[in-house]
């Protein structure tokens, strides 16, 4: 069932140059995901990552952007975003030859499901899956192809020159003056059980349709923004972080539920 959903979603793949949630945003989604893992998924994550939790894994693909290897400077660069130039849906033909977040999600899901994959490649795949699902919930990661996902849309945020993408990546999150763990706990306390159940569906096409719709509603008419903009859009920001975290967990729960059982240790006397 899970793999069928993924194959359907893969036909919706997308692309637009942006970065990602900032480190706090990614850690928030990872921390929420950690709290919603099934027992089987939690054991598999521990087997792959060791002592590293999902909050730490969530930032790793961004942390590695400073690595000078071609893989990080060129190959992996397009895997953090998608571009939807028209309408509210994505066509598979829109994915560029170098790939995007959707094609990378499919690729790394297959790698994580491969029983022959090495421990190192599974670790890479899991870290990217956690990161990419977070990225797909940032509305400006489903850009329209005209302003690099809001990076070229200049704004004044509380008197400081920046751009709309940066406001959503980091500025509105940091404006709360909370650590990632405090923020994650605040959000977790506000989630209702029925919301967690509803949001746990592993449907990347749906996640993107939500991000696209929100992206079209967050460009301000007045580019000098502060308290009013933050107050208006804070509930939407928090909602995307909550859904992103729950969906990371839901995706991994489904993926590891379909995985073959791990070999049992041999009893030796």
Q: Is 209 among the domain residues?
A: yes
Q: Is 15 among the domain residues?
A: yes
Q: Is 63 a residue whose pLDDT tops 80?
A: yes
Kindly report, residue by residue over 91-121, the tens digit of the pLDDT. Answer: 777 788 898 999 999 999 999 999 999 999 9
Rounded Cα distance, 173 and 180, in Å: 9
Kindly report, residue by residue over 195-230, the tens digit of the pLDDT. Answer: 999 999 888 989 999 999 999 999 999 999 999 999
Count of domains forming the chain: 1
Rounded Cα distance, 134 and 138, in Å: 7
User: What are φ and ψ of residue 223, in 5° steps?
Assistant: -80, 0
Q: Is 263 among the domain residues?
A: no
**How much is the pLDDT for 54?**
98
**How much is the pLDDT for 17?**
41
Number of C-beta neighbours around residue 71 at 10 A:
12
Q: What percent of the chain has pLDDT over 70?
A: 88
- On average, the pLDDT of the chain sits at 88
**How much is the pLDDT for 89?**
72
The contacts found for 160-165 with CB under 8 angstroms, 24 or more apart, are 164/140, 164/218, 164/219, 164/220, 165/18, 165/19, 165/140
Tokens of 153: 């849309």
Higher pLDDT, 29 or 258: 29
**How much is the pLDDT for 95?**
80
Q: Is 143 a residue whose pLDDT tops 90?
A: no
Q: Is 12 a residue whose pLDDT tops 90?
A: no
Q: Is 168 among the domain residues?
A: yes
Label residue 2 by pLDDT band (50, 70, 90). Answer: very low
Label residue 19 by pLDDT band (50, 70, 90). Answer: low
Domain enclosing residue 120, as ranges = 2-257
Rounded Cα distance, 232 and 249, in Å: 28
CATH number of the domain that 200 lies in?
A: 1.10.575.10
Q: State the SS3 of 192-260.
A: CHHHHHHHCCCCHHHHHHHHHHHHCCCCCCCCEECHHHHHHHHHHHHHHHHHHHHHHHHHHHHHHHCCC
Q: Is 262 a residue whose pLDDT tops 70?
A: no
Q: Is 267 among the domain residues?
A: no
What SS3 state is found at 142? strand
Compute the average pLDDT of residues 152-179.
97
Compute the average pLDDT of residues 19-33.
91
What SS3 state is found at 157? strand
**How much is the pLDDT for 258?**
73
Label residue 130 by pLDDT band (50, 70, 90). Answer: very high
Rounded Cα distance, 9 and 181, in Å: 31
pTM: 0.88
Rounded Cα distance, 36 and 34, in Å: 6
Q: Is 4 a residue whose pLDDT tops 80?
A: no
Higher pLDDT, 263 or 192: 192
């Amino acid at each position: 069932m899970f793999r069928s959903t993924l194959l359907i979603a893969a036909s919706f793949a997308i692309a637009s140059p942006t970065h990602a949630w900032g480190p706090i945003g990614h850690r928030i989604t990872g921390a929420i995901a950690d709290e919603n893992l099934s027992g089987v998924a939690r054991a598999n994550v521990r087997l792959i990552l060791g002592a590293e939790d999902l909050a730490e894994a969530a930032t790793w693909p961004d942390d590695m952007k400073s690595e000078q290897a071609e893989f990080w400077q060129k190959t992996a660069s397009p895997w953090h975003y998608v571009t939807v130039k028209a309408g509210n849906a994505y066509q598979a033909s829109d994915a560029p030859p170098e790939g995007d977040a959707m094609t990378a999600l499919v690729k790394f899901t297959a790698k994580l499901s491969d029983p022959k994959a090495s421990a190192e490649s599974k670790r890479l795949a899991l870290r990217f899956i956690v990161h990419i699902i977070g990225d797909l919930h940032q509305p400006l990661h489903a850009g329209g192809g005209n302003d690099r996902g809001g990076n070229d849309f200049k704004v004044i945020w509380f008197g400081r020159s920046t751009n709309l993408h940066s406001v959503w990546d980091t500025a509105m999150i940091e404006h709360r003056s909370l650590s990632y763990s405090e923020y994650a706990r605040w959000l977790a306390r506000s989630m209702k059980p029925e919301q967690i159940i509803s949001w746990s569906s592993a449907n990347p096409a749906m996640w993107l349709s939500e991000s696209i719709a929100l992206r079209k509603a967050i460009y301000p008419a007045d580019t000098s923004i502060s308290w009013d903009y933050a107050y208006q859009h804070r509930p939407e920001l928090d909602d995307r972080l909550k859904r992103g975290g729950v969906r990371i967990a839901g995706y991994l729960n489904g993926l590891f539920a379909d995985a073959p059982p791990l070999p049992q240790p041999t009893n030796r006397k």
